[in-house]
Amino acid sequence: MPHFTTSDGTEIYYVDQGAGQPIVFSHGWPLNSDAWAIELKVFADAGFRAIAHDRRGHGRSSRSYAGNDMTTYARDLSELVNHLDLREVVVVGHSTGGGEVVRYAAQFADGRVSKVVTVGAVPPIMLKSDSNPEGTPIEDLDGIRAAVLKDRSQFWFDLAEPFYGANRPGAQVSEGAKQDFWRQGMLVDLPAAYDCVKAYSETDQTEDLKAIDVPIFIAQGDDDQIVPIAAAAEKSIKLVTQGTLKVYPGAPHGIYGAYQDQLDKDILDFIKS
């Protein structure tokens, strides 16, 4: 299994498939690169070099007590891109991974990024405040931390329901998909899972979005129960200079089913445009 070691000694696992223009995928919390398994094949089959990594503390990467913050995540991504000497990179990030690729493109890309894609992403900031009344209350985020600390195994089972919209009438989400969410969640180191809540919810990325100087495709489902769309995609599109927003009616936070099929097609179209 391929790994590389970051400048602070953290081992990062990654998958590298296909050949052509590179596309690097960054996963959401509490998942890992397995969340992009379908995309890795779809995009490699379409003639791209498809790469996905396990964030530090997640999946098969090092258990990392330190560095569970958005800047370190973006720096890790930068070091992976530099390690592989990738150019004209398209970065794609879901949820927390969306924050990671936005910070990377804004602060660490050094001319290597050609396009950015975010899906259900946390920027500009998820936390509710007087200036961001559409956000998530700190009490809800504290509840997530408490649940992770108390019984993370049960919490991952419970979280899979709203993550994929399986709690909606008529939803068709397989038991296998929900159990795979649980499986990936159980691979997260507890400190990384706990600290990442602060990273994804309290990092203000307003200036990152303003600094992105390449085209960005911002995608989100309008039935996202995890990241409020009014605090996320609908605000992000107003901050970028070369943005395209697409809202998917009825789509949840998790990338699954018909939503996944259409999203992958739209990302391909965006990259080729």
- Give the catalytic positions in this structure: 95, 224, 253
Helices (H) and strands (E) in the chain, counts: 9, 8
Give the whole-angstrom CA distance, residue 123 versus residue 131. Answer: 14
Q: Do residues 185 and 140 lie in contact, with contact meaning Cβ atoms separated by under 8 Å?
A: no
Measured at the alpha carbon of residue 28, what is the angle toward residues 244 and 199, in degrees to the nearest 5? 95
Give the whole-angstrom CA distance, residue 124 versus residue 122. Answer: 6
* Helix residue ranges per DSSP H, the chain: 37-45, 70-83, 96-107, 138-163, 175-185, 190-202, 206-211, 233-236, 257-272
Which residue's structure tokens are 């929900």? 178
**Is 170 exposed, middle or buried, given 0-12, 13-18 or 19+ CB atoms closer than 10 A?**
exposed
Give the whole-angstrom CA distance, residue 195 versus residue 64. Answer: 11
Closest alpha carbon to 56 in 198, 192, 182, 195: 192
Three-state secondary structure call for residue 233: helix
Which residue's structure tokens are 């995309």? 39
Computed on alpha carbons and rounded to an integer, the radius of gyration of the chain in Å comes to 17
Q: Is 146 left (phi over 0), alpha (psi -120 to 50) or beta?
A: alpha
Question: What residue type is 215 in one-letter code?
Answer: P
